[in-house]
Amino acid sequence: MVAPLKAVTIWDPETKDLEPATHRGRFLPVFRARLKAEAEARKELKNKRDVELKASATKGEKWATRSAAADRRRRETEERFVEEASDRAAAAAAASVSPTATKKNANKYQFVGVVNPKASGRPIKWYARTKPAGSQWSVRLVHVDQAAVITDLFRQGKVDIFAKYKNTGKINPETNTPVVESQYTVRERGIR
């Protein structure tokens, strides 16, 4: 299958700042920020715990039950601290991934270049129009594959293809067969 139109579009600068198109592109920066914040929070808590263990004493009655209860409370507090740090980092990362179009393209026109390699002199013909509201591109270069367009129109029943064959009277020396020239014309259906 051949595409009748091949285009290259130059998008406006503000569209580069928009949110990534894939779920993966939105998820990975947030996940990376969460992991980094969690690791830093756990490292900070470990340093605090090392200082507290050096200062605490294991003396007195029922020190083991008091120590177990204190350890349980400490773990719960640490987990809340790590979750809050992770949530703050995720919110900051999500805000940086979301659309932040600060730069607005001042161009009020859209330019379309149509490529015609058969044209002598200027193979690209340029057209301009005012940019519609909400449009996100300024320049587009279009290459029209005429054979694909004609094939598509023929399949839709909009054109007829006529062939004319002419024997030139010459013989091809390699195959020893007559040389036949072909001429094809395309007309809109219904026009004779």
**pLDDT tens digits along 123-182:** 888 999 998 888 888 899 988 888 888 888 898 999 999 999 999 999 999 999 999 999
- Angle at 59 (CA atoms; ends 53, 62), nearest 5 degrees: 105
Q: What strands, in cross-sheet order, belong to the sheet with 124-130? A: 5-11, 137-144, 109-115, 124-130
Q: Enter the tokens of residue 1.
A: 């299958």
CA 182, CA 61: separation in Å to the nearest integer?
A: 109
Q: Where are the domains of the chain?
A: 1-14+101-145, 19-97, 157-192
Place of tokens 């219904």: 190
Look at residue 122 in the predicted model and tell me its pLDDT: 84
8 Å CB contact between 139 and 9: yes
Instruction: Give the residue among 140, 122, 118 at the shortest CA–CA distance from 131.
Output: 140
CA 27, CA 134: separation in Å to the nearest integer?
A: 27
Q: Enter the tokens of residue 67.
A: 């120590």
**pLDDT tens digits along 51-92:** 776 656 556 677 777 777 878 888 888 888 888 888 888 888
DSSP reduced 3-state for 85: helix
| DSSP class of 175 | T
Please give the model's pTM, rounded to 2 decimal places.
0.40
